[in-house]
Structure 1
Amino acid sequence: MKTQTTPRAVATTAVGILILVFMLFPVYWMFNVSLQGGGMAASSTFFPINPDFSGYQKAIEQQTGNLVTSIIVSLGTVLLTLIISTPAAYAMAQFRLKGSTTFQFGLLIAQMIPGIVIANSLYTVFNDLGLLNSIPGLILADATHAVPFAILIMTAFMRSIPPSLVEAARVDGAGHFRAFWSIVVPVSRNSIITAALFSFLFAWSDFIFALTLTASNDVKPITLGIYDYLEGNVQSWGPVLATAVISSLPAILLLILAQRYIAAGALGGAVKS
């Protein structure tokens, strides 16, 4: 049976395409200018007719250390976030804990606190603990933003897990931890991947914590690298935007690889299997 295309559907599709082009144009322009060497972004041609990769060469030479720092901090944030939030979400979803509703409301409130407020509060604490200008300090700081979000995401999913799955494991002699690790974690794979992805993106794109809690060239994420690099290369946008393109690649690749896990639900497949 053929479906007729109505004028309204065509108009809606056209509007959607225009919105998509409008949203993606800054990304295209960033990539376009990065291939045109130095000079001003406003004077660049619309297409890179004669691509110049010197900007990428400079970006790799000068920003590799900052990229490595960002990768370490982001992966560390993901690991710490999952270690804390996964069992916390399981406890909130499966056990009737006193005060869990208040705790969940507190997590929502924590999401509304501006990052600069948290960063200023952490500065004094980190100074006393010797965590300023350190990778562990940045991991802890980024986790304060990622953990509440991850708990909320995974709690909502784990509440939909049939209690019979956990009860069957308990009847077979598994303890709470074994049931959690062998049953709940595999079934919650999609929500865990979603929480891990957003935790990585939180840490990868962080600027406020990095700017407030670091003042050393030895520990500098790529966001600060671009910020400092921009100050010294205002008249040379090619290397600046080449750095921006390179720093965007991990996030783009992760979103492409993880989109099916974010969009799909794992529970149905687990029950059927």
Structure 2
Amino acid sequence: MNNSSTVRRLPMTVLGVFFLAVMIFPVYWMVNSSLQDSSGATTRDFFPINATLTGYAKAISEQGQNFVTSLLIALGTVLLTLVIATPAAYGLSRFRSRGLNVFLLVLLITQMVPAIVIANALYPLFNNLFLLNNIFGLILANTAAGIPFAVLLIRAFMGSIPRALVEAAMVDGAGALRAFVSIVVPISRNAIVTAALFTFLSAWSDFLFALTLTSTPEVRPITLGIYDYISANTQDWSAVMATAVLASIPAALLLIFAQRYIAAGAVSGAVK
């Protein structure tokens, strides 16, 4: 019986491995190309036999500032988004009022608006507020785009928290703010971490806001840096690929460390 079941699963396993290899191959080729010399992108060896870190040295020296800029923007966006979205989600989950469903529908609709439309609408506003070519301006733009999703995600979890927990804390003398900080936020940690993860990934990979709202090399995220780097250094593919590898590291590390919180949030949500 076990052997028969294994035989039936074998084709699906082989197919899964094949699709996994197809998806992972671009990542492998990016790392492989970053460890080879500056020859053309189509003339690389399949394995980095004579590996070199020259591309990484050049990428760090020329793109290091852009890397730090992206990190500041992404972290600032996460912080500002959570500060606004977490209490907003709690209010929407706990306090019922007329028009709540309409407001939630509006939040959903905002997720359908293309980013380029938002970027073009923000340009004249940011120009009047002197926020063009400004890190804080990019943080505000990414926060405006990330808040609706974060509110919807955190609210869905907070809605499953028993009201008796908050009421018990308030009976013991805790105010609304103290109950929110001491009871609701710790319980909602998994949902908050998940929202922070998606917000960071969105801000880190942002290209349209950076392209529309910046025009100087002093404020240039790594995504825009790679875009300019390719056009200016099309012959130095090792440096280009090394920059891409470095740009992938923060997101990869964040996914690795946050996956247990995401999994725990999904399981606890299912149990509740």
TM-score range relative to shorter protein: over 0.9
Report the equivalent of 2:54. 54
Pick closer, same or farther for the CA change 1:27–1:175 going to 2, 3 Å: same
Residues 4 and 169 of structure 1: CA distance in aligned 2, closer, same or farther (over 3 Å) = farther
Q: How many residues align?
A: 270
- Equivalents in 1 of 2:268, 2:120: separation in Å? 44
8 Å contact 1:77–1:140 — kept in the other structure?
yes
Task: Report the Cα distance in structure 1 between the residues aligned to 2:199 and 2:14, rounded to whole angstroms.
Answer: 34
Q: How far off is 1:9 after superposition? A: 1.4
1:142 aligns with 2:142: yes
Could you tell me the percent identity over the aligned residues? 60
What is the RMSD computed on CA atoms of the aligned residues?
Answer: 1.8
Describe the SS at the equivalent of 1:6.
Answer: helix
Question: Could you say which residue in structure 1 is the equivalent of 2:84?
Answer: 84
TM-score, normalized by length of structure 1?
A: 0.95
What is the correspondence of 1:241-256 to structure 2 with a 5 Å cutoff?
A: 241-256=241-256
1:185 aligns with 2:155: no
- 5 Å-filtered alignment, 1:165-176, equals 165-176=165-176
- Provide the C-alpha distance between the structure 2 equivalents of 1:247 and 1:103, rounded to a whole number of angstroms: 36
The answer for unaligned runs of 5 or more in structure 1 is none
2:125 matches 1:125 = yes
CA distance in 1, matches of 2:30, 2:99: 48
Q: Alpha-carbon deviation of 1:98? A: 2.2
Partner of 1:261: 261
Output the CA distance in 1 between the equivalents of 2:179 and 2:4. Answer: 51
For the structure 1 residues 132 and 102, does the alpha-carbon distance in structure 2 shift closer, same or farther, using more than 3 Å as the test?
A: same
How far apart, in 2, do the equivalents of 1:174 and 1:198 lie?
32
List alignment gaps of at least 5 residues for structure 2.
Answer: none
| Aligned twin of 1:97 | 97
Letter in structure 1 aligned against 2:138:
L
Give me the whole-angstrom Cα distance separating, in 2, the residues matched to 1:107 and 1:39: 48
How many angstroms does 1:153 deviate by? 0.6
- Deviation, structure 1 residue 268: 5.4
Deviation at 1:165, TM superposition (A): 0.9
Match of 2:18 in 1: 18
- Is the deviation greater in 241-250 or in 8-17? 8-17
